[in-house]
A and B are shown apart, each in its own frame.
Chain A
Amino acid sequence: MIKIVVCLKMVPGKLINAEAGGLIINPYDLFVLEKLAELKKSSDISVIGICMGGESARDGLIRSKALVCDDIYWLNDIKFAQADTIATTKTLTAAIKKYIPDADAVICGGHAIDGETGQVPAELSEKLGITYFSSVADIESFGNDSAVIVRRDERQEMTVRCRYPFLLSVDSFLTYASNLNVIALKRAQKWEYKIISAEELGIASTDCGASGSKTKVINSVNIIYKKESIEIGGSIKEKADHVKKLLQQ
């Protein structure tokens, strides 16, 4: 059986839908879960979710479990809070090395729509010491010693066979999970989610969360300066004519 670890991040739902509250599964991670749910029907894989997040991540974890995850490690401790990418990477590395040291593949969404740094996948591959594949558009199949993936950038699209173990950074996303069914969701709600603390993980508090971070936000400023604008009134035609005139200058 091929063991696959999926890194999951929960992000504010309002980033997708202005009216939504709470946290949802990062759309890039959701694509990975959906893809694995499809592939699981025809291949012998086990999917293990790993997520760093507080209580508000629970709903997303239930959905992840219902979709495809056989097991989930929930790294939930206030000591993990406010982590930058380096601290996040160290925490995820500690968890993968402790609980899933024999993982064949680690798969991450290319970036999270709230942070948008896209740094964690490559950082994690370096710490785990496994091959890194970026710009993954699709995952085609999992074989015994390798998987077939599609990588895409501006210039080309390549179908590649890559040997385990490796880490993928996936650039496709989904905002809606079509493989999610109600019965699975009900079952997932009753499942007992293992909460892992920093102590249990065996990570020093100076290696995770804010104290393990190498960057810090000192303050925020507004660098968008307000301008004095001229409002153009009149009929729609007058407004359009005004812009046409400006364009001709």
Chain B
Amino acid sequence: MDKRKIWVVCDAFDHVDSFTGQLISKAYQLSKESNGSVQAVFIGNASDDELKRCALYGADEVVYQQCETKDEKVWLDILSDIYSSIGADIIMFTNTDFSKTLSSLFASRFEVGLTADCIDICFEEENGFVFERAAMSDSVQARIICINSQCCTCTVKKNAFVETEINAQKELNIRKWEYTGSFIADPAYEIINSVKRVCENNTDLDNAKIVFGVGRGVKDGETFDMICQAGKKYNAVVVGTKCVVDDGLLPKKLQVGQSGCSIAPDLYIAFGISGANQHLVGIRNSRQIIAVNNNENAPIFNIADVKIVADVKEFMKEFAE
């Protein structure tokens, strides 16, 4: 039997970024479980040396198409061309805005199954590739397979997988694709005005060692300010649950959970977080979790190492001292 083709679509345009590294690392692991080979599909503008970095994480081949523009429609046509020619059994995309659009367009064009924001993927003889993501209104993870579908596609959450360099020296084949279609993006719009957004928050959440989480139990601005002050003091990044972000207390990029980001700090302190599954999937890789909540039965305590039953406001008054 031919080897299963496991694709990773690289979307960093001119380099192999850490997110792509995470995907190739997972693809490599899946290739061992499923008797597959890992193909990194790289569209953009990168040197051979940069492309070779895909081998560090376990890619067998890079399919490279030189392209000067980063436009979803142009990439879709290129990707379709490659797919129609060599085929794939599973295609992994990052879940950046760009790749979410690209993967949706692709899945729709070929009518193949697409699972959004996976937090895990495994291979089982019986089921084939199985994708896991949080079931929204439930306290469990849904395990999803593709049916009646030529190939399986998915977008993957950042930090769901660990970027791992393999020990073995791998022979990497770089296959230069020669796409003959158009590289011109459809000019169906004109820009009237464009304003750069000032980044209010330059926090490096991916590398944060200490993270403070704020949940609905933080009911007033005063308590929230005390947590932010303490965050500064201990060099901790302050993040929030979905409802806190929806309420506008914190920007979307500091939302942790299934619909936000996943984190893996050394220490996570959850203030007034009840522990909905939506949030827990985002913090489950934290090395140590301390939870402060006034409800002693809050689900957050199930995964906490240290349990503190206390009113968050009262606790913060002492803690901020």
Chain B associates with chain A: yes
Query: Distance in Å from the Cβ of B50 to the closest Cβ of chain A?
Result: 23
Question: Is A94 at the interface (CB under 8 A from chain B)?
Answer: no
Q: Is the CB of A214 within 8 A of B112?
A: yes
Main secondary structure of the interface of A (DSSP, over half): mixed
Is A154 in contact with B253, judged by CB distance below 8 angstroms?
A: yes
Question: Min CB distance, B200 to chain A, in Å?
Answer: 11
Complex CA–CA separation, A117 to B275 (angstroms): 21
Nearest residue, chain A, Cβ from B296 = A231
Is A193 positioned at the interface, with any CB of B under 8 Å from its CB?
no
The yes or no answer to B303 lying at the interface (CB within 8 A) is: yes
Number of residues of chain A lying within 8 A (CB) of chain B = 72
Task: Return the CB mask of A114-151 against B: 1 if under 8 Å, else 0.
Answer: 11111111111111000111110000000000001000
CB of B145 within 8 A of CB of A215, answer: yes
Q: Contact between A114 and B137 (Cβ–Cβ < 8 Å)?
A: yes
Contacts of B31 in A (CB 8 A): none
Interface contact B140-A154, CB-CB below 8 Å? no
The answer to whether B189 touches A160 (Cβ under 8 A) is: yes
A224 at the interface (CB under 8 A from B): yes
Write out the residue numbers on chain A whose beta carbons fall within 8 Å of the beta carbon of B182: none
- Let me know if B97 and A240 touch, CB within 8 A: no
Nearest opposing residue in chain B for A160, CB measure = B189
Instruction: For the complex, give the distance between the alpha carbons of A14 and B136 in Å.
Output: 12
B272 close to A (CB within 8 Å): no
The CA of A229 and the CA of B303, in the complex, are separated in Å by: 8
Chain A residues, Cβ within 8 Å of B49: none
Contact, CB under 8 Å: B306 / A232: yes
Bound-state Cα–Cα, A113 to B258, Å? 12
Chain B stretch 89-113: residues in CB contact (< 8 A) with chain A: 97, 100-101, 103-105, 107-109, 111-113
Partner of A86, one of B113, B195, B196, B258: B113
By the criterion of a CB under 8 Å from any partner CB, how many residues of chain B are at the interface?
83
Q: Which of A2-10, A32-40, A68-76, A161-169 participates in binding chain B?
A: A161-169
Which of B10-18, B170-178, B307-315 lies at the binding interface? B307-315
The residue in chain A whose Cβ has the minimal distance to the Cβ of B320 is: A240
Complex CA distance for A45 and B157, rounded to whole angstroms? 39
Please give the distance in Å from B318's CB to the nearest CB on chain A. 4
> B23: shortest Cβ distance to chain A, in Å?
18
In the bound complex, residues from chain B placing their C-beta under 8 Å from that of A15 are 136-137
CB contacts between A and B, total, < 8 Å: 216
Q: Counting CB contacts under 8 A, is B193 at the interface? A: yes
- B319 is an interface residue with CB less than 8 A from chain A: yes
Please tell me if the beta carbons of A162 and B319 are within 8 angstroms of each other in the complex.
Answer: no
Contact assessment for B319 and A220 in the assembled complex, using a CB-CB cutoff below 8 Å? no
Contact indicator A230/B130 (Cβ below 8 Å): no
- A158: chain B residues at CB < 8 Å are 191, 193-195
In the bound assembly, the distance between CA atoms of A170 and B314 in angstroms comes to 40
Residues of B within 8 A of A231 (CB): 306-309
Return the contact of A159 from the options B113, B127, B191, B289 (Cβ within 8 A): B191
Q: How far is the CB of B68 from chain A (nearest CB, A)?
A: 20
Task: Give the interface centre of B109, B192, B301 by most chain A CB atoms within 10 Å.
Answer: B192
CB <8 Å contact, B310 and A239: yes
CA distance A240 to B116 in the complex (A): 40
CB contacts (< 8 Å) of A126 on chain B: these are 76, 104-105, 108-109
B199 proximal to A (CB < 8 A): yes
Assuming A123-B104, A161-B190, A162-B189, is B146 touching A156 (CB within 8 A)?
A: no
Binds A, one of B32-40, B52-60, B277-285: B277-285
Indicate with 1 or 0, residue by residue over B197-240, a CB within 8 angstroms of chain A CB atoms.
10100000000001000000000000000000000001000000
Given contacts A86-B114, A126-B109, A224-B277, contact A215 B191 (CB under 8 A): no
Interface members, chain A 227-249 (any B CB < 8 Å): 227, 229-232, 236-237, 239-244, 246-247
Contact residues in A for B194 (Cβ distance below 8 Å): 156-159
* Contact among B132, B139, B234, B309 for A247, CB-based, below 8 A: B234
A132-B72, A231-B306 given; name 8 further pairs at CB < 8 Å.
A124-B108, A132-B105, A215-B114, A217-B142, A222-B140, A224-B281, A227-B305, A237-B318
17 A–B contacts from the bound complex (CB under 8 Å): A84-B113, A90-B111, A120-B104, A123-B104, A132-B101, A134-B97, A148-B192, A162-B189, A166-B188, A214-B114, A215-B115, A217-B135, A217-B142, A229-B306, A232-B306, A239-B310, A246-B306
